[in-house]
């Protein structure tokens, strides 16, 4: 039997020797690198390849060195990633922006008008209570409906894993979603306040506290909805939970009805859940004398917001 030639050798047992003047075989020649990129390689376009060949060099012993490499770490990298994800989320939402605004109008301003049909002529106190409660209802669909359904759609279309594989800190991506949807809810709240005051013929006493009240309630809804959407992996279950929340809020929540009219057991539940407290902080910023202990409501909403963040961090951490 004929002896097998050694790899690269010129004889049966001869090892390959690099001829004098040739480059080490550890790395391809830059022109080969650029050619492979032009042919559709994995490194990207020709510009990126030229930048790579400029920054990388090979020593006489075949060792790869870096001429210039900028590595961004820590807070600076996180903020840069957060800014990039903000642009990415805003561009990616597209039709969701108009869709979300329409839902807010229907849930907030629409219900303000519909409740007027049910109740007929009401006293100024009742009208003020109704008009100051509908803005909280307008915040429900953004956090508890739109975000869960958006995440469920990502799972169905199989883009969920791709989005979480982007080379950015995962909490920066989550913070971007919190920011976009929190700000996205503000126009609908403003419309709900205006329509409610007009429909019931009342004058609301708007205070500067309306800004932190709306921002906190919107952030809470977004945070809890985001944590729920990522914690429940089944899209059907997510859709079921979102619809149940809307059903529960519209029929069994003291937002436009005083909590004193509810049974004690149901009132006790609502003092733990966030929906009643959403209406309380907004109502306190729009009226005078209708809310007694608004500080407790801020604490409850803050606790639910932190709970949503912890749930998100836990789910995101498990994906690592």
> Do 119 and 126 form a contact (C-beta atoms < 8 A)?
yes
- At residue 319, the pLDDT reads 59
Pull the structure tokens for residue 312: 């998100």
Distance, C-alpha 281 to centroid of its chain: 23
Q: For residue 64, report the phi and psi dihedrals to the nearest 5 degrees.
A: -75, 130
pLDDT at 23: 45
- d(C-alpha 245, C-alpha 102), whole Å: 19
Collapse the DSSP code of 122 into the 3-class scheme (helix H, G, I; strand E, B; otherwise coil) and give the result: coil
Task: Report d(CA 14, CA 9) in Å as an integer.
Answer: 5
Candidates 134, 120, 61, 146; CA nearest to 282 is 134
Tokens 């009219």 appear where?
261
Burial readout 27-46 (b: 16 or more C-beta within 10 A, e: otherwise): eeebeebbeebeeeeeeeee
Question: How many CB atoms are located within 10 Å of the residue 234 CB?
Answer: 11
Confidence (pTM): 0.72
Let me know: does 122 contact 257? Beta carbons within 8 Å: no
pLDDT at residue number 89: 87
Element holding 65 (H helix, E strand): strand 64-66
Helices (H), 26-158: 30-38, 46-55, 74-93, 95-107, 109-119, 124-131, 134-141, 147-156
Which pLDDT score is estimated for 43? 40
Residue with tokens 């039997």: 1
Question: Which of the residues in the chain have pLDDT under 50?
Answer: 1-19, 21-71
Paired with 66 in beta bridges are 56
């Amino acid at each position: 039997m004929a002896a097998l030639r050694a790899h690269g050798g010129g004889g049966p047992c001869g090892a390959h020797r690099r001829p004098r003047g040739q480059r080490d075989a550890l790395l391809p020649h830059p022109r080969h690198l650029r050619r492979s990129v032009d042919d559709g390689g994995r490194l990207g376009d020709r510009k990126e390849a030229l930048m790579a060949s400029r920054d990388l060099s090979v020593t006489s012993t075949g060792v790869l060195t870096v001429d210039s490499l900028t590595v961004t770490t820590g807070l600076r990298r996180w903020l840069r990633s957060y800014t990039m994800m903000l642009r990415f989320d805003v561009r990616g939402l597209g039709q969701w922006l108009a869709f979300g605004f329409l839902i807010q109008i229907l849930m907030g301003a629409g219900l303000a008008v519909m409740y007027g049909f049910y109740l007929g002529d009401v006293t100024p106190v009742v009208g003020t209570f109704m008009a100051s409660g509908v803005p909280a209802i307008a915040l429900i669909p953004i956090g508890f409906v739109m975000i869960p359904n958006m995440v469920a759609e990502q799972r169905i279309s199989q883009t969920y894993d791709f989005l979480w594989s982007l080379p950015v800190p995962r909490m920066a991506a989550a913070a971007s979603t919190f920011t976009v949807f929190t700000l996205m809810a503000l126009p609908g709240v403003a419309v709900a306040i205006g329509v409610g005051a007009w429909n019931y013929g009342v004058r609301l006493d708007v205070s500067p506290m309306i800004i932190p009240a709306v921002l906190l309630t919107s952030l809470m809804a977004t945070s809890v909805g985001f944590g729920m959407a990522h914690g429940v992996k089944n899209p059907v279950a997510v859709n079921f939970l979102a619809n149940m929340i809307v059903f529960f809020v519209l029929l069994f929540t003291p937002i436009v009805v005083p909590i004193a009219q509810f049974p004690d057991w149901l009132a006790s539940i609502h003092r733990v859940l966030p929906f009643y407290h959403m209406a309380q902080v907004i109502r306190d910023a729009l009226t005078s004398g209708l809310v007694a202990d608004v500080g407790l409501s801020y604490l409850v909403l803050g606790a639910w917001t932190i709970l949503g963040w912890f749930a998100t961090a836990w789910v995101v951490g498990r994906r690592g």
